């Protein structure tokens, strides 16, 4: 029986691991390599590592870091940040990464998605959709470049288009819920879930293992990603890498 | 060159070049323990009384605050057992952990288990990794034995800073005579709080400024903090019966706490340092110190210690993997790391230090009966 | 010598890393020459079927691999698309496969997959080995691996099936024909189960 995927999502900024709230207020979490190593030993289902600077400042991905992280992962790794060309997809996968994620690049040139899928296979092409409630009516809108750019795109429409183009997985990220640890945004997830049949992973808002259980109860097979939950503990948001044990996971699904 | 000699009672030997043996072949570590440490060390009924008095004082000082003391927690057996004792006595500690980038999964898991099951609050200070890395590399390049200083120094510096900021008067550490009454010779592990030495080594070999890395100094935490700010560092494990094996079992039974194969192996760097670097480069095996403490406190037999010392701490395959891991993490090649291993051995005397202050201070402390069990 | 075929596709580094941790020496093969001395061959693969076959042919190793596997009986383990390439053909493309198995590669029937998530088959799924020898030794009662694919291997000889998995339909996720093994999942990314499987392969 296929299981829902429960995965930590780590953000890299200036070579270090950071965690944000609403995509702002970055808090230093430490060395990426050590965090990934600990997650590997905790046998996490898979891992996402996103470089939050690269696209915004027009930088190339840090290939050395990616290679070192891949070395430590005995589970699938998805890397995102600064990817704009099919060659970069190829290169990153060649370093030992299973999936490559794009966000703003897909908005700028949707054909990147289909070209990359032809080259590396659609199972390795992930598109991240960052969503914020914008405008007077607070409607869901796709945003990019660390939530600094509005696109005018509606998330479920955009997600359906991406599936058509050949994306193998959609990661739906709620900017408003980021770092809040108050629960996932079910309204948003409902709208996108009903529009596509590719694997969907959601990120933004998970505050407890109960939130993940609730997500799985509602949607069945889904990817439950979390940043703060697996990296912080307690009221002082003390950095402590954590992840449900095998027994705890068995209780989630 | 001295002939090799090993103590007839513990297992310290002439790899500690300052060691002295009496007519019976008993070393000065043992003699110091018998004459200076043991008489002032009270567990049993008197220890419990002392502990109760301390606990009461801590509770009073913490009234109305979110927590009454902070406990430096590494996830190792000493700090874990201390945390348990503290809560048993009704204290409300903040568990303080310093992440220097080398945490092992077991350590992190142990901290999580204790914090969750005891319902305690946790605070983690994450040391800026790029600065830490640069500082650690500086120590490698300096050729001195005490390359674990960057981790240790940061640990104490941040704890004191936090206590000062939050007006907490008591810092509890897991330091204890039961497993540490015999200390690492200064030749092996020089004072980690010596900021003059730290800054000198950094100045000579560092490539980036220490902007975020927390620097403390011996004067600050031996004089300023305790006597001016009234922040005390206490060692409650010295007031209770502390049997390592029993403590480990209790922690496992109550909290699913996982043991480590050797003391200090909660940090991957320390494991590399004590398990490979120190013995290989300098011939210093810290197990001798740890086992000797257990021998004089009746927790281990000399025969058992000698048996264990026959085998290396880490097997060859593990050494190779750890060597590569450390090189990778420090962003250098294994060839470069090897070059530091092969370079000439230096001592703390090759760099600036506050050694004289330590010697004077230690003498004064002992004369005033303020401290027992110092390094030499 | 364990030799990993490096024809430009598949996570060769991950396999090397696992064997390194196990202290088992490995070699990479980029050319036919590099295959000399190979006793156990790992054939990884990701991406599209046609592209993978094309890359393998372009590497110049095809003929040598055929000889080593079909004539000299060297052990070979195909992973994911590496396994699929061992069939005669695939629904995914038009290229001919290696034909080491009398089998085809078919696309999952989405109509049989419950729930909203369909393809690719992505995530950790239970694997049911038909025996616990060979590749599946010492795995414990609860065997699972990471899958990432939209097409599955369909052997015509049911005797080739080594393990089964369920995704809409039941399908062969591990196959064997004499010295030739194929697994649909990714042992190099399946934690302890994967490490054990790769260890078992090296022991054959």
Question: Residues A191-201: pLDDT tens digits?
Answer: 999 999 999 99
Q: Contact partners of C by the rule of 3+ C-beta pairs under 8 A?
A: A, B
List phi, psi (to 5°) of B303. Answer: -60, -45
Residue B193 has pLDDT above 90, yes or no: no
Q: What is the pLDDT of residues A74-106, one digit of tens each?
A: 999 999 999 999 999 999 988 889 999 999 999
| Average pLDDT over every residue of B320-342 | 94
Once rounded to an integer, what is the mean pLDDT over residues B216-240?
87
pLDDT at residue B372 tops 70:
no
Query: What is the sign, positive or negative, of the torsion defined by CA atoms of B209, B213, B219, B225?
Result: positive
Report the half-sphere exposure of B257 (CA within 13 A, side-chain side): 31
Mean per-residue pLDDT for A107-127?
A: 94
**Averaged pLDDT for residues B73-78:** 93
B374 pLDDT tier (thresholds 50, 70, 90): low
Catalytic residue among C40, C92, C173, C188: C188
The whole-number average pLDDT for the span B3-14 is 95
| Separation of alpha carbons A30 and B127, rounded Å | 7
- By the 8 A CB rule, do C69 and C41 touch? yes
Instruction: From residue A171, give the alpha-carbon distance in Å to each of A115, A186, A200, A224.
Output: 19, 14, 6, 10
pLDDT of A172 > 80? The answer is: yes
* pLDDT at residue A219, rounded to an integer: 96
Spell out which residues of chain B touch residue A68, defining contact as CB-CB under 8 Å: 328
Distance between CA atoms of residues B324 and B334, nearest Å = 6
Interface size, chain B vs chain C, as Cβ–Cβ contacts under 8 Å: 3
| pLDDT tens digits, A29-67 | 999 999 999 999 999 999 999 999 888 888 899 999 999
DSSP state of C30: S
How far apart are the C-alpha atoms of B184 and B187, rounded to whole Å? 8
Q: What is the C-alpha separation between B150 and B128, in angstroms, rounded?
A: 12
Task: Please judge whether C47 and A219 are an interchain contact, meaning their C-beta atoms are less than 8 angstroms apart.
Answer: no
Report the pLDDT value the prediction gives residue A226, as an integer from 0 to 100. 96
Given an 8 Å threshold on Cβ–Cβ distance, is A43 in contact with C191?
Answer: yes
pLDDT at A150 over 90: yes
Structure tokens at B136: 């650690």
Taking an 8 Å cut-off on Cβ atoms, the answer to whether A1 and C126 are in contact is yes
Give percent of chain B with pLDDT exceeding 70: 97
Interchain contact, A38 vs B105, CB within 8 Å: yes
Q: How close is the nearest chain C Cα to the Cα of A43, in Å?
A: 6
pLDDT of residue B11 exceeding 60, the answer is yes
Tell me whether strands C2-5 and C40-43 are parallel, antiparallel or unpaired: parallel
Instruction: Answer yes or no: is pLDDT of B191 > 90.
Output: no
Residue from the list C48, C147, C167 with its beta carbon closest to the beta carbon of A121: C48
Q: Residue B162 to residues A33, B98, B128, B157, B170: CA-CA distances in angstroms?
A: 27, 11, 16, 9, 11
B140-149, B300-309, C7-16, C151-160: range with lowest mean pLDDT: C7-16
The dihedral of CA B74, B78, B84, B89: what is its sign?
negative
- Tell which of C13, C16, C19, C20 to mutate to test the B interface (max B CBs under 10 Å): C20
Burial B55-79 (b: 16+ CB within 10 A, else e): beebbebbeeeebbbbbbbbbbbbb
Selected residues 284-323 of chain B with any CB under 8 Å from a CB in chain C: 317, 321
Asked if B94 and B66 touch (Cβ cutoff 8 Å), the reply is yes
- Residue of C123, C146, C150, C195 to mutate, interface with A, max A Cβ within 10 Å: C123
Cβ within 8 Å, pair C123-A199: yes
> Which one of B99, B102, B122 has the shortest CB-CB distance to A234?
B122
What residues of chain A lie within 8 A of the CB of C124, using their CB? 2-3, 5, 45
Query: What CA–CA distance (Å, rounded) separates A48 from A127?
Result: 12
Q: Do the chains contact at A31 and B101, CB–CB below 8 Å?
A: yes
Closest partner residue to A15 (CB to CB) among B97, B122, B130 is B130
Contacts of B242 (CB under 8 A, 6+ apart): B43, B81, B176, B178, B179
CA distance B265 to chain C (A): 20
pLDDT at B369: 66
Of B306, B313, B332, residue with least CA distance to B271: B313
Calculate the average pLDDT of chain A. 94
What is the Cα–Cα distance from A38 to A68, expressed in whole angstroms?
14
Burial class (CB in 10 A: 0-12, 13-18, 19+), B23: exposed
As a whole number, mean pLDDT of residues B263-292 equals 92
* CATH number for position C39: 3.40.50.880
Task: Cite the active site residues of A.
Answer: 130
Q: Rounded to a whole number, what is the distance in Å from the CA of A11 to chain B's nearest CA?
A: 15
Q: What is the pLDDT of residue C135?
A: 94
CA distance C62 to chain A (A): 21
Is C92 in the active site?
no
Which chains have 3 or more CB–CB distances shorter than 8 Å to chain A? B, C
* pLDDT the model gives residue B1: 67
Mean pLDDT score across all residues of chain B: 91
pLDDT band, very low/low/confident/very high, at B260 (cuts 50, 70, 90): confident
Alpha-helix runs per DSSP H in chain B: 28-32, 44-61, 77-88, 105-118, 129-142, 149-165, 177-180, 195-205, 218-219, 244-255, 268-272, 286-296, 302-310, 316-329, 334-342, 355-367
Cα A189 from chain centre: 14
Q: Annotated catalytic residue: which of C40, C121, C149, C186? A: C186
CB contact under 8 A, A74 and C149: no
Q: Does the distance separating the beta carbons of B99 and A30 come in below 8 Å? A: yes
Which of B317, B319, B328 is the mutation pick for testing C, counting most C CBs within 10 A?
Answer: B317
Q: One digit per residue, pLDDT tens: chain C, 204 residues?
A: 999 999 988 889 889 989 988 989 999 999 999 999 999 999 998 888 998 999 999 999 999 999 999 999 999 999 999 999 999 999 999 999 999 999 999 999 999 999 999 999 999 999 999 988 889 999 988 999 999 999 999 999 999 999 999 999 999 999 999 999 999 999 999 999 999 999 999 999
Could you list the residue range(s) of the whole structural domain that residue C156 is in?
A: 2-203
Contact A76 C188 (CB under 8 A): no
pLDDT recorded at residue A58: 86
Tell me the three state secondary structure of residue B124.
strand
List of chain B residues whose C-beta atoms are within 8 Å of the C-beta of residue C21? 321
Question: How much of chain B exceeds pLDDT 90, in percent?
Answer: 74
Pair C138, C121: CB distance under 8 Å: no
Give strand pairing partners of C147: C123
DSSP H/E element including A155: helix A155-165
Residues contacting residue C145 through CB under 8 Å, at least 6 positions apart:
C124, C125, C127, C173, C183, C185, C186, C187, C190, C193, C194, C197
Among B370, C91, C30, CA closest to A94: C30
What's the Rg (C-alpha) of chain B? 20
Domain total of chain C: 1
CB contact under 8 A, A241 and B97: no
Question: Residue B121 is nearest to which of A15, A31, A236, comparing CB atoms?
Answer: A236
Which pLDDT does position B147 carry in this prediction? 96
C-alpha closest to that of B74 among B266, B244, B247: B266
Residue among C89, C1, C7, C92 at smallest CA distance from C44: C7
Which residue in A has a C-alpha nearest to residue B133's C-alpha?
A: A31
Distance to chain B for A36, nearest Cα, Å: 10
Can you give the pLDDT at residue B370? 63
Q: How confident is the model at residue B371 (pLDDT cuts 50, 70, 90)?
A: low
pLDDT at B266: 85
Q: Is the CB of C192 inside 8 Å of chain B's CB atoms?
A: no
pLDDT given for residue B226 in this prediction: 83
Whether residue A48 contacts residue A80, with contact meaning beta carbons closer than 8 Å, is answered with yes
């Amino acid at each position: 029986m296929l299981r829902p995927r429960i995965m930590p999502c780590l953000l890299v900024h200036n070579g270090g691991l950071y965690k944000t709230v609403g995509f702002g207020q970055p808090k230093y979490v430490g060395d990426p390599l050590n965090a990934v190593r600990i997650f590997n030993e905790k046998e996490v289902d898979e891992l996402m590592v996103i470089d939050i600077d690269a696209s915004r400042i027009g930088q190339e991905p840090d290939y050395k870091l990616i290679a070192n992280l891949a070395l430590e992962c005995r589970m699938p790794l998805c890397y995102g940040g600064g990817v704009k060309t099919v060659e970069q997809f190829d290169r990153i996968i060649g370093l030992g990464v299973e999936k490559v994620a794009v966000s703003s690049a897909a908005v700028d040139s949707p054909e990147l998605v289909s070209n990359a899928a032809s080259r590396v296979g659609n199972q390795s092409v992930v598109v991240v959709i960052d969503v914020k409630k914008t405008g007077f009516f607070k409607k869901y809108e796709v945003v990019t470049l660390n939530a600094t750019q509005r696109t005018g795109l509606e998330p479920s429409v955009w997600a359906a288009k991406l599936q058509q183009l050949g994306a193998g997985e959609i990661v739906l990220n709620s900017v408003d819920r980021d770092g809040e640890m108050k629960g996932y945004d079910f309204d948003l997830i409902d709208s996108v879930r009903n529009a596509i049949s590719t694997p969907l992973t959601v990120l933004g808002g998970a505050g407890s293992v109960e939130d993940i259980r609730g997500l799985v109860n509602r949607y069945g097979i889904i990817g439950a990603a979390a940043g703060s939950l697996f990296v912080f503990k307690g009221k002082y948001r003390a950095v402590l890498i954590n992840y449900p044990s095998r027994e705890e996971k068995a209780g989630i699904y | 060159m001295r002939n090799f000699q090993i103590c007839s009672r513990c297992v310290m030997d002439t790899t500690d070049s300052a060691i002295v043996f009496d007519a019976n072949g008993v070393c000065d570590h043992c003699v110091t323990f018998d004459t200076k440490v043991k008489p002032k060390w009270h567990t049993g009924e008197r220890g419990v009384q002392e502990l109760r008095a301390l606990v009461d004082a801590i509770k009073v000082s913490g009234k109305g605050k979110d927590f009454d003391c902070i406990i430096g927690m590494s996830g190792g057996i000493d700090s874990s057992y201390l945390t348990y004792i503290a809560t048993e006595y009704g204290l409300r500690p903040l568990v303080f952990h310093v992440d220097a980038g080398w945490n092992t999964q077991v350590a992190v898991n142990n901290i999580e288990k204790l914090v969750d099951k005891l319902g305690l609050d946790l605070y983690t200070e994450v040391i800026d990794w790029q600065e830490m890395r640069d500082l650690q590399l500086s120590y490698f390049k300096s050729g001195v034995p005490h390359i674990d200083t960057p981790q240790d120094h940061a640990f104490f510096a941040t704890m004191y800073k936090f206590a000062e900021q939050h007006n907490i008067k008591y810092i509890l550490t897991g330091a204890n005579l039961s497993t540490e009454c015999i200390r690492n010779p200064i030749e092996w592990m020089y004072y980690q709080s010596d900021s003059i030495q730290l800054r000198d080594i950094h100045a000579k070999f560092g490539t980036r400024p220490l902007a975020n890395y927390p620097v403390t100094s011996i004067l600050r935490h031996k004089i300023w903090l305790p006597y001016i700010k009234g922040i005390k560092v206490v060692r409650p494990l010295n007031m209770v019966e502390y049997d390592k094996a029993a403590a480990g079992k209790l922690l496992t039974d109550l909290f699913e706490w996982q043991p480590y194969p050797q003391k200090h192996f909660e940090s991957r760097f320390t494991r590399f340092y004590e398990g490979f670097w120190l013995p290989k480069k300098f011939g210093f095996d810290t197990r001798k110190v740890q086992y000797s403490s257990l021998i004089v406190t009746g927790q281990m037999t000399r025969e058992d210690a000698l048996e264990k010392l026959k085998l290396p701490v880490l097997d060859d395959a593990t050494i190779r993997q750890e060597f590569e891991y450390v090189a990778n993490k420090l962003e250098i090649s294994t060839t470069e790391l090897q070059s530091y291993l092969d370079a000439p051995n230096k001592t703390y005397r090759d760099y600036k230090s506050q050694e004289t202050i330590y010697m004077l201070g230690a003498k004064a402390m002992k004369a005033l009966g303020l401290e027992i069990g110092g390094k030499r | 010598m364990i030799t990993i075929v490096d024809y430009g596709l598949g996570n060769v580094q991950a396999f090397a890393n696992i064997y390194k941790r196990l202290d088992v020496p490995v070699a990479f093969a980029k050319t036919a020459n590099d295959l000399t001395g190979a006793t156990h061959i790992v054939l990884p693969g990701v991406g599209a079927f046609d592209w993978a076959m094309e890359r393998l042919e372009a590497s110049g190793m095809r003929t040598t691999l055929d000889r080593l596997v079909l004539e000299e009986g060297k052990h070979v383990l195909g992973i994911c698309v590496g396994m699929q390439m061992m069939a005669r053909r695939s629904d995914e493309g038009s290229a001919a496969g290696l034909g080491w198995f009398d089998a085809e590669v078919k696309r999952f029937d989405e109509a049989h997959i419950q729930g909203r998530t369909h393809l690719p088959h992505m995530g950790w799924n239970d694997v049911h080995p038909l025996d616990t020898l060979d590749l599946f030794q010492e795995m414990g009662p609860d065997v699972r691996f990471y899958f990432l694919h939209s097409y599955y291997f369909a052997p015509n000889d049911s005797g080739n099936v080594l393990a089964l998995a369920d995704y809409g339909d039941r399908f062969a996720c591990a196959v064997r024909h004499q010295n030739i093994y194929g697994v649909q999942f990714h042992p190099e990314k399946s934690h302890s189960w994967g490490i054990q499987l790769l260890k078992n392969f090296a022991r054959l």
